[in-house]
Chains A and B, each alone.
Chain A
Amino acid sequence: MIAFVILAILALGGGVGVVVARQPVHSALFLIMNILALAIFYILLSAEFLAAAQVIVYAGAIMVLFLFVVTLLTAGKDDAEPQESLQGQRLTAGILAVLAGGGLAVLGVLFPSRSVPFGLPPNFGNLHGMGLNLWNQDFVYLAAVALMLLTAAIGVLVLNRPPREGPKPRVKEGDS
């Protein structure tokens, strides 16, 4: 329980920090804090593999790429408040967040057994159980996600292809 409270504070603090921090690198650091807190949550649920995967994939790879971009773009910029282009977006976002949270809470109270699925498969979250799940009953979803990610990767390659050169400049005109 004590561990849960500490981790919950860390995770929530990380989440709030991402939004509040003015410097993008600080936001990224808060997000890493949040991710690591979640990883320890997984360990508390004895889902070690999920925890390791969370750290390796999210903290170790995705956030490093984030930082790569953020450090490249924000080098030497001052952290003054940027001009808001969309008026009243904070108010709207706040109202929507409260509505969404309230809605989820109401749903959770009304349908307690359906909104919180009980009875995870045995060994859930460790290497063996996870592998059995992914490669047996959930294989369709695994393949679907793999296909989606592959599409995204190919999309990036296609979009970033250098523009095809037009008719080749006639360099050797004098020869012909």
Chain B
Amino acid sequence: MIVLQIVLLVIKIVLLIAILMGGFAYTMLLERRLLGFFQLRLGPNRVGPGGLLQPIADGLKMVLKEDLMPLGADPFVYRLAPVISLFTALCVDAVIPFGAPIHIFGLTVTLDIANPSIGLLIAFAFSSLGVYGLVLGGWASQNKYSLLGGIRASAQIISYELAMGLAVMGVLMTAHTANLEQIVLYQKAHGWLWLPQIGAFLIYFVTGIAETNRTPFDLPEAESELVAGYHTEYSGMRFASYIIAEYINMITVSGIAVTLFFGGWLGPWLPPIIWFFIKIAIFLFVFIWIRATLPRFRYDQLMNFGWKVLVPAALIYFLGTAAFVSGIL
């Protein structure tokens, strides 16, 4: 029985990584095509039917590229940094339930790798480690633009993580649990949480965009000021690791938003896992839409917005939710 459980776990892990990698590849293609349409051009449509084989061509290109390292770089940290980014990005998804538990061959298979009682906090713990990839990569390159990008990343992510944590607390208090599966089941019984937690959801989504370093919060890589920020010096697969991590983080932020605020896998007619993917796809579209629409923040604007708008707003919403849950209000 234990052997069977371990085999099942390994299969689930391999499947999850495959799904995330495929998700990354086609999110990237989707982004390039959509950005093309937003800007009244076509985007990549030459490789395969409608450009569908483009990710494979990109992947081959990345694998075959030379792996460069600056002369003054710190070799160990330089190689370690992209691995940290990719590793933490993949780990967060381990606790997200992708669908309702399935019953086959008398076995109950949950569609998450792990289902700890504090799943939400585990997800936060891993995603809070992701910033090391950026900071260390920026530092180890020994390039002033990389360094500036890394320093920006650390300041930005610390500031926005705070508001994100406060926003998510509201859901945690309303559902009386930090277990992601239980939160979905709570929403099954009491309705989806985006409406009662609309303030928390908006703050979560804004900070989620900032945490993934997407436009308009892509200050760490700001290509018009810092060349490419923390990953200026990286090439080949190490560069690809950063990009993969960024897109998987997008999927993760969407997945957690869906789980916390939009009922996770819940939905009529279609199988639960399909609903989950549809909801994630909608979020990814919004991510790309925002990137195509909004210009980048200036650095002081970013900090002011984070500390003077988002954190107080999240705190007030948090206290309001606490008062409501405890019955004072």
Within 8 A of B (CB), among A5-44: 23, 25-26, 29, 32, 39
**Inside 8 A of B154's CB, which chain A residues have their CB?**
64-65, 67-68, 71
Q: Decide if A71 touches B118 in the complex (CB within 8 Å).
A: no
Interface mask (A63-95 → B, CB under 8 Å = 1, otherwise 0)? 011011001100110000000000000000000
Among A48-56, A110-118, A146-154, A165-173, the stretch in contact with B: A48-56
Q: Decide if A61 touches B128 in the complex (CB within 8 Å).
A: yes
**A133 at interface, CB cutoff 8 A:** no
- Least CB distance from A58 to B in Å reads 10
Q: Decide if B125 touches A55 in the complex (CB within 8 Å).
A: yes
Instruction: Kindly state the separation between the CA atoms of A39 and B161 in the bound complex, as whole angstroms.
Output: 20
- Least CB distance from B4 to A in Å reads 23
**Inside 8 A of A65's CB, which chain B residues have their CB?**
154, 158
**A127 at interface, CB cutoff 8 A:** yes
Q: Decide if A64 touches B157 in the complex (CB within 8 Å).
A: yes
**Inside 8 A of A61's CB, which chain B residues have their CB?**
128, 158, 161
In the complex, besides A48-B117, A55-B129, 4 extra interface pairs with C-beta distance below 8 angstroms are: A32-B132, A51-B125, A55-B126, A60-B129
Residues of B in contact (CB 8 Å), total 31
Report A's interface with B, CB cutoff 8 A.
23, 25-26, 29, 32, 39, 48-49, 51-53, 55-56, 59-61, 64-65, 67-68, 71-72, 75-76, 126-127
Dominant secondary structure at the A interface? helix
- Least CB distance from A50 to B in Å reads 10
**Inside 8 A of B121's CB, which chain A residues have their CB?**
49, 52-53, 56, 127
**Inside 8 A of B118's CB, which chain A residues have their CB?**
48-49, 52, 126-127
A71/B150 contact (C-beta < 8 A), A61-B161, A64-B131, A64-B157 known: yes
- Least CB distance from A54 to B in Å reads 8
Q: Decide if B74 touches A25 in the complex (CB within 8 Å).
A: yes
A76/B151 contact (C-beta < 8 A), A64-B131, A64-B132, A127-B118 known: no
Chain B residue with Cβ nearest A61: B158
Q: Decide if A127 touches B117 in the complex (CB within 8 Å).
A: yes
**Inside 8 A of B20's CB, which chain A residues have their CB?**
none
Instruction: Kindly state the separation between the CA atoms of A25 and B139 in the bound complex, as whole angstroms.
Output: 9
